[in-house]
Amino acid sequence: MDKVFLSLLAANFVIRSLYSLHMLQLEEYSEKKYIRWIFSHINKYIINILLIASFMLYFFHPLFASFILLISIFLDLKLFLLRKKKKRLVFTKRLRRLMYTSFFLFAIFLSLTFIYNNIIYEIITFTFVLFNSLFYYITNGILIPIERLINEHYYKDAKRKISRLNPLTVAVTGSYGKTSTKYYLHHLVAEHYKSLMTPESYNTTMGITKTIREKLDKSHEVFIVELAENDNYGYSKLLELIKPQISILTSIGIQHFEEFESLDNIIQNFKNFILDERSGKKIIANIDDENIKNVLENIDTKKEIITCAINEKNAQYKVEELKISKDGANFAIITPNNQKFYFETNVYGYENIRNLLLAIVASFELKVPVEEVIERAKNIVKPKHRLEIVRNDTITVIDDTFNSNPKGFKMALEYLALFENKRKILVTPGFVELGEKEDEEHYKIGKEIAKYVDVVFLIGEKRTEKIYKGLIDSNFEGKIFIVEDLNEVIEKFKTFLQPGDVVLFENDLPDNYN
Condensed to tens digits (0 to 9), the pLDDT of residues 149-204 reads: 999 999 999 999 999 999 999 999 998 899 999 999 999 999 999 999 999 878 88
241-253 average pLDDT score: 95
Contacts of 327 (CB under 8 A, 6+ apart): 346, 348
Residues 187 and 306 in one domain: yes
Q: Which residue has the higher pLDDT, 74 or 178?
A: 178
Work out whether the CA dihedral 269, 270, 274, 277 comes out positive or negative. Answer: positive
Confidence of residue 82 (pLDDT cuts 50, 70, 90): low
pLDDT of res. 45 = 53
pLDDT of res. 150 = 94
In a domain, 266, yes or no: yes
pLDDT of 363 higher than 80 = yes
Please, what's the b/e burial string for 330-369 (b: 16 or more CB within 10 A of its CB; e: otherwise)?
ebebbeeeeeebebebebbbbbbbbbbbbbbbbbbbbebe
Q: Which residue has the higher pLDDT, 88 or 272?
A: 272
Least confident of 81-85, 139-143, 398-402, 463-467: 81-85
Residues 415 and 480 in one domain: yes
Residues 372 and 421 in one domain: no
In a domain, 153, yes or no: no
Residues 188 and 91 in one domain: no
Domain final residue pick, 379, 405, 420: 379
pLDDT of res. 513 = 42
Nearest to 354 by CA among 178, 496, 501: 178
Confidence of residue 68 (pLDDT cuts 50, 70, 90): confident
Residues 364 and 245 in one domain: yes
Residues 323 and 189 in one domain: yes
Domain final residue pick, 348, 379, 410: 379
pLDDT of res. 227 = 94
In a domain, 28, yes or no: yes
pLDDT of 83 higher than 80 = no
Number of H helices, E strands in the chain: 19, 15
CATH (domain of 285): 3.40.1190.10
Confidence of residue 316 (pLDDT cuts 50, 70, 90): very high
344-362 average pLDDT score: 94
Domain final residue pick, 98, 113, 146: 146
Contact by Cβ (8 Å): 458, 480: yes
In a domain, 157, yes or no: no
Range 443-447 contact pairs with CB under 8 angstroms and sequence separation of 24 or more: 443/467, 443/469, 443/470, 443/473, 444/406, 444/470, 445/406, 445/409, 445/410, 445/470, 446/470, 446/471, 446/473, 446/474, 447/471, 447/473, 447/474
Residues 88 and 223 in one domain: no
**What backbone torsions phi and psi does residue 434 show, to the nearest 5 degrees?**
-100, 0
> How far is residue 29's CA from residue 289's CA, in Å, rounded to a whole number?
32
Following CA atoms 474, 475, 476, 480 in sequence, which dihedral angle do they give, to the nearest 10 degrees?
100
How many other C-beta atoms are found inside a 10 Å radius of the C-beta of residue 394? 10
What is the tens place of the pLDDT at every residue in 3-33? Answer: 787 888 888 889 889 889 998 988 888 888 8
pLDDT of res. 512 = 44
Residues 267 and 296 in one domain: yes
Residues 373 and 402 in one domain: no
Residues 360 and 392 in one domain: no
Residues 338 and 413 in one domain: no
> How far is residue 511's CA from residue 333's CA, in Å, rounded to a whole number?
42
In a domain, 220, yes or no: yes
Q: How far apart are the first and last CA of the chain?
A: 36
What is the tens place of the pLDDT at every residue in 415-428? Answer: 999 998 899 999 99
What radius of gyration, in Å, describes the C-alpha atoms of the chain? 26
* Residue 265 bridge partners (DSSP): none
CATH (domain of 436): 3.90.190.20
In a domain, 10, yes or no: yes
Q: What is the share, in percent, of the chain residues with pLDDT greater than 90?
A: 55
Residues 419 and 496 in one domain: yes
What strands lie across the sheet with 396-400, from one edge to the other? 388-391, 396-400, 502-506, 424-428, 455-459, 479-483
pLDDT of res. 372 = 96
318-336 average pLDDT score: 94
pLDDT of 56 higher than 60 = yes
In a domain, 192, yes or no: yes
408-414 average pLDDT score: 91
> How far is residue 54's CA from residue 67's CA, in Å, rounded to a whole number?
8
Q: Quote the number of domains for the chain.
A: 3
In a domain, 152, yes or no: no
75-101 average pLDDT score: 80
**Residue-number span of the structural domain to which 333 is assigned:** 166-379
